[in-house]
Structure 1
């Protein structure tokens, strides 16, 4: 089960061949519009591409983009049963304007206040019932700081998972970074952890071992994975640590790479893989998706051949 901030990644692509007479900005002649699953929904898409059976829980608005996101899920053969509407906020949409293979601008439509009241309780009730039905092997918390995974909500869900002996994987963001007590795997990226600790964090084994000790002390988690962009992936299971170089050669667009890595981590953990093996596989998958433009899911067949 994936719980987190779902959104639409919208691409408006066209041509630019003149500057506006109204202001010194380019005029985009729109050619096509493409809507894709984004945020936690893209993580669900990656998990499905890896062969997992996925449940996705999140919030949309009572606006035209809410039904669109649900339809995108159905088109991808993903269930929208745990997607609830909150009339107080819009469906999160990231709109990218592109021309000639270059991104010109990104426009975000969102409300990032904490999810409270009836929408929060309704979502929590649905998640609770689904977990109690016994069909959940692992819960992945995918946070983009859009309001779903605020502290009280996540703590209640983590306690529920501990009671049911369900492993938990966390991909955090800055707000509420230290809210995921006693999770199974905690996976920030290098920039995120640099913003959370007072020490200087470098992409070296010794430096990362020190910051992992801080994470273990604060969260009492079982294992740590830190993604390091071009420097690869660091993993630590509390006993041994290792640093794994990236496989990336061609970089077209880094959007969604973190979603792919956390999906590999979740599947690997559920399958009982060792952390170093998960890191190596995640590096290959990440290299695959950043070689393509836009937010895309991993290609399992190509990953098997890598």
Structure 2
């Protein structure tokens, strides 16, 4: 997908609100190293380093909806146990518009624990309730959905087979949504998709589609036949999308099948990628986007997610990073202050070290390139603060800048060492530094660390100041004077 197209689609889905109804899991990750084999059995011993908990199942879908720029509220069923308490806290903390976690006495909260050595998942342990939710819980779910429908742009049934989405719950939720004029998207599970009949869109993966219709789905022709077979059983469902891993996605709508090819990826961790795809698809449905375009966005989102470890989410900025750049399409890296602060926050959540440097960069020369490369070498992401035209004039005098801010920003954004550019109007970047809160401040050796604007703020947060070596013989002012001399 081209970057410009992705930007338009992301703008269309921003702010759309989803009501997620489904099985929320507590995902635990145990990280460590394998250095030896057990004496008791031929199995590796994992030396644990740390544990992390996050939302899984429908909860991971909620996280992806929010990270893509949408809003999400959730209705689920959990047990009266510590795992249920943890799920409720995580749902509250992740930025949901509303959380209705129905507690059922005697029922356990579904959990999934993954054991990881380095970046390799070794094995996974599931703890499931084992039975469907009670009739009382079914009624509570339906009442909660009825109360929440009005504020949602799309309803999503996220079925992870843990017993919450019973046939009766599915049928009643779809009936309520259709009566209210709300689209319904479904991530199915198990056999007999008739309980999802009437939904706007159903999204199985390739294996689920093959199991449901009893047909192979290896090739495009086989996939088309399988989709047609399923569609014939679900006459009241307008569209089906099947996710096919590295082969992309396929859509059947109005009797036509459309295929979208996935870009090759060198690293794959497919945990939660289906949730990422469904989040993008559902927000696209909520925005009324053509499903062919929405499918392409969903594939871009899923492909970006599989490049991360664990059940990862993706941001609009990361999707734009992954999209194919078009001719002259670099200005998307030039951000406003608030957008830059949000981007840096997302990088921090991913554990990345963010660096910052600034300057006028009026006429780019090798000295600039050397300092920017040095700055990028001490961090994972580099934000460059760029003086506005008025700011440059105040600092450098009349006749400067030679190049306007838009041109200077575009040149910087095109450099491999620069991740984002932010134009600031002030004489110093201190306010910008306080707004985006980077971890590292980098400036050239012609400055003293104690004199740098924003240095005290960086150090107060535990950050560091890095002084980059200067490349002798390069100066924008000298270049300007030389051009003046030649033109005289």
TM-score by length of 1: 0.94
Q: Deviations over 1:110-131 (max 9, x none)?
A: 1131112222211221111222
1:223 to 214, 239, 249: 239
Q: Distance in 1 between matches of 2:182 and 2:68?
A: 20
The aligned counterpart of 1:291 is 307
Q: Within 2, Cα distance between the matches of 1:196 and 1:175?
A: 6
Once the 2 structures are TM-superposed, how far is the Cα of residue 178 of structure 1 from its aligned partner? 2.9
Mapping of residues 41-120 of structure 1, within 5 Å: 41-79=59-97, 81-120=99-138
In the other structure, the counterpart of 1:213 is: 228
The match for 1:10 is 28
Q: Is the 8 A contact 1:150 1:176 kept in 2?
A: no
CA distance in 2, matches of 1:119, 1:26: 42
SS at the partner of 2:137? helix
Match for residue 202 of structure 1?
218
Deviates more, 1:4-13 or 1:171-180: 171-180
User: Using the alignment, how far apart are the partners of 1:2 and 1:65 within structure 2?
Assistant: 20
Counterparts of 1:159 and 1:196, CA distance in 2: 23
Counterpart-to-counterpart distance in 1, 2:211 and 2:91? 34
Instruction: Indicate the SS of the match to 1:178.
Output: helix
Q: Tell me which of 144, 147, 150 is aligned to 2:166.
A: 150
Cα distance between partner residues in 1 of 2:97 and 2:141:
15
Question: Structure 1 residue 246: deviation in Å?
Answer: 0.4
- State whether structure 2 residue 122 is matched by structure 1 residue 122: no
Deviations 1:63-99 (A, max 9, x none): 1111111111222112553111112221111101111
Please tell me whether the aligned partners of residues 230 and 246 of structure 1 are also in contact (alpha carbons under 8 angstroms): yes
**TM-score, length basis structure 2:** 0.60
Aligned to 2:152: 136
CA distance in 1, matches of 2:215, 2:110: 34
> In structure 2, how many angstroms separate the alpha carbons of the residues matched to 1:176 and 1:61?
27
Q: What is the CA distance between 1:248 and its match in structure 2?
A: 3.9
Secondary structure in 2 matching 1:104: strand
Tell me, yes or no, if structure 1 residue 268 matches structure 2 residue 268.
no
Q: Contact between 1:15 and 1:99, CA under 8 Å: does it hold in 2? A: yes
Farther-moved stretch of structure 1 (265-274 vs 97-106): 97-106
CA distance in 2, matches of 1:19, 1:217: 53
Aligned to 2:10: none
Which among 198, 201, 218 is matched to residue 185 of structure 1? Answer: 201
1:250 to 256, 261, 266: 266
2:139, 2:152 → 1: CA distance? 20
Instruction: Give the Cα–Cα distance (whole angstroms) in 1 for the partners of residues 195 and 142 of structure 2.
Output: 17
Would you say the 8 A contact 2:69–2:315 is kept in 1? no
Using a 3 Å threshold, how does the CA distance of structure 1 residues 80 and 16 change in structure 2: closer, same or farther? farther
Q: Whole-Å Cα distance in 1 between the matches of residues 26 and 219 of structure 2? A: 32
Q: Rg: which structure is higher?
A: 2
CA distance in 2, matches of 1:261, 1:93: 22
CA RMSD of aligned residues (A): 1.5
CA deviation digits over 1:97-116, x for unaligned, max 9? 11132222211111131112
- Which has the larger displacement, 239-248 or 184-193? 239-248
5+ unaligned residues in a row in structure 2: which ranges? 1-18, 324-488
| Structure 2 counterpart SS, 1:127 | helix
Name the SS for the 1:146 alignment partner.
coil
Q: Distance in 2 between matches of 1:45 and 1:248?
A: 25
Q: Relative contact order, CA 8 A, sep 6+: which one is greater?
A: 1
User: Contact 2:210 / 2:226 at 8 angstroms: preserved in 1?
Assistant: no
Shift of 1:234: 0.3
